[in-house]
Structure 1
C-alpha cells in the first residue's frame, strides 16, 4: 500500500515543520549525491532554514561550483553586448542587401557619381574574372574531349 499524498501547503505546527524540513533536506542531499554519482555531475546544494541557518552540500569545492555558475550565468546575462552585435549585424545585412540591389541595377538614383564609378569598376573586375574562369573551363573541356 502506498503513502498518502500530502497537499503542498505550509505546515502550521513549528515542531512538525522543523522535523519535515530536516527529513526533506536529507532526502534532497541524498538525491544530489545520486545525481552526482550516476551522471558524473558537479552538484552544489545550498539551503537556508526558516531560522536562517545555512546547509550546504557539494560534490567538489563549493567555491569552484559557484565560480562555474557565475561564469556561466554572466555569459548568459551578457545580453547587452549580444543586442549590440545583433544591431551591427542587422545594419551590415541591410548594407549588403542594398549593395546587391545596386549591382542588379536597382535603386541607383541614390548613388553619387563616384559611387557609380566604383561600382562600375567592381563589376568590370568581376566580369573579367567570370570570363577568365569560363575560358579556363572551356579549355579543360576541349582537352578532355580531344583525349577521349
Structure 2
C-alpha cells in the first residue's frame, strides 16, 4: 500500500470515534468527580469565609472606643509589640520542635527576610494556580 492510499485510509478510520459500551458510565463518573471537586472547593471557601467573618466580628466587638486620642496610638503600638512577641515565640517553638532551636536569624536583615517571604508567597501562589488550572 502506497503512502497516497495509506493516509486517506487512516483518516477514514479516525474520522468517527467508535462508541464504547461503557460510555454513559464513564460520563457519569467524570461528572461526579467534577461535582465532588467543586463541592470541596465550595466547602473550603465557605469555611474560610465563616472563619474570617468570625475574626472580623470579634475584632469589631472588642474595639475600645473610649480611648483618648494619644492613648489609641499607644494601644496600637502595645498590640503590635505583643503580636510580634507572640509570633516570635510561636516561631521559636516550631524551630525547637524540628531541632532547629539554635538557628540564629539575627544576621539576616529585615529587607532580606521581606524578599524571602515575598518569594515564598509567590511560589505558593504559583503552585496553587497550577493545581487549580489542572483541576479545571
- In the superposition, the TM-score normalised over structure 2's length comes to 0.37
Q: Which has the larger radius of gyration?
A: 1
Which is richer in strand? Answer: 1
| Greater relative contact order (CA < 8 Å, ≥ 6 in sequence) | 1
Which is richer in helix? Answer: 2
- In the superposition, the TM-score normalised over structure 1's length comes to 0.34
